[in-house]
Chains A and B, each alone.
Chain A
Amino acid sequence: MANVRNTARPLSPHMSIWKWGPSMAASITHRVTGSGLATVGTILFVWWLVALASGPAAYACFLDLFTVKSGALNIVGYVFGIGLTYSFFQHLSTGVRHFFLDQGANFELKANKTTALLTYVAAILLTIAFWGFIIWGKTNG
C-alpha cells in the first residue's frame, strides 16, 4: 500500500519543529475558519432557511435559541454570531490574500508577514463594524 511509511526514513519538516509566525498562523487560521464555516455555519444557515420556509413556529424556535424575550441576542447568540462573523471575515481576508499568493506575488518575507497580520486586523475591524452597525447603527436611525 502506498500509505505504509518506511520508518527507517526521516519525516519531512513538520508541525512540531516549525516556529510559529504570522504566515503560518494565517494559513492554519484560513483552514480552521473555513472548516468551521463549512460545518457550523452551514448547519445554522440551512436551519435558518428551513425554519423560514416552514412557518412562524419553526422560525420562533430558531430565534429562541439565540435571543432573549426582548429580541436582543443572548449569550448563545453572541457566541455563534460573533464566532461565525469573525470566521467569515477572517476566511474572506486570508482568502483574498491567497489570490495574490496564487499569482506568485507577495512572497517577499516582509510583505508576506505584514499581509498575514493585516488579515487579522481586517477581520477584527470588519466584525466590530458589522456588530456595531447591527446593535447601535439602527437604534439611532
Chain B
Amino acid sequence: MGNGTSIGKVRGLGSAKEGAHHWWHQRLTGGANLILTLWFVLSIALLPAYDFETVRHWLAQTQVAVPLILLVIATFYHFRLGLQVVIEDYIHDEVHIVLMVLLNFFTLTTGTLAIFSILKIAFTAGAAL
C-alpha cells in the first residue's frame, strides 16, 4: 500500500466492519451497568458495617454473588470497549497495538480474579478458612 492513487489507497483501507458491533455493545453494557452498579452502590451504602465478617456474609448469598458476577462481566467488558476508544483516539503509532494487548491482559486478569474471588467467598463462607 502507498504506491497507488489517493482514491486507491482509501478504497484499500476500507472500514474495519466492526464499528457498529463495538458501539452497540458499549450501549448494551452501559444499560446493564446502570442497573447493576446502582444496585451495588445502594447495597454497599445499606450494609450495617464494613468489617470482614459482615461483608463476607453479605457477599456469600446467591442473590448477591450472582448479580455481582454479572456486574463484573458487564462493567469490565464496558471499560474494555471504552479504553479501546481512548487508546485509538490518542495513540496512532505501533504503541497502539502494545497498549491494546496490555488492555486485553489487564481486563482478563482483573476480571478472572474478581469472579474467582466472588465464587470462592460464596462457596466457602460457611467453612473455616
Contact = CB atoms under 8 A, between A and B. Distances in A.
Given A2-B13, A45-B114, A53 B120 contact: yes
A75 interface: no
Contacts of B83: 35, 38
B30 A50 contact: no
B113 A88 contact: no
A92 interface: yes
Given A3-B92, A130-B45, A134-B45, A42 B34 contact: no
A82 to B, nearest CB: 13
Contacts of B16: none
Given A60-B52, A88-B37, A130-B41, A43 B110 contact: yes
A45 B76 CA distance: 11
Interface residues of B, number: 36
Given A42-B110, A46-B114, A49-B118, A133 B45 contact: yes
B121 interface: yes
Interface string B36-80: 011001000100101010011001000000000000000010010
A102 B24 CA distance: 11
B2 interface: yes
Contacts of A46: 110, 113-114, 117
Interface string B68-106: 000000001001001100100000110000000000001
B4 to A, nearest CB: 13
Contact of A50 (B37, B48, B113): B113
A49 B116 CA distance: 9
B25 interface: no
B55 A52 contact: yes
> Top 6 A-B pairs ranked by shortest CB distance?
A38-B79, A53-B117, A49-B117, A53-B120, A59-B52, A3-B92
Residue among A37, A49, A50, A71 with max Cβ neighbours from chain B (10 Å): A49
A130 to B, nearest CB: 6
A46 B66 CA distance: 16
A76 interface: no
B37 A92 contact: yes
A42 B52 contact: no
Contacts of B116: 53
A52 B56 contact: yes
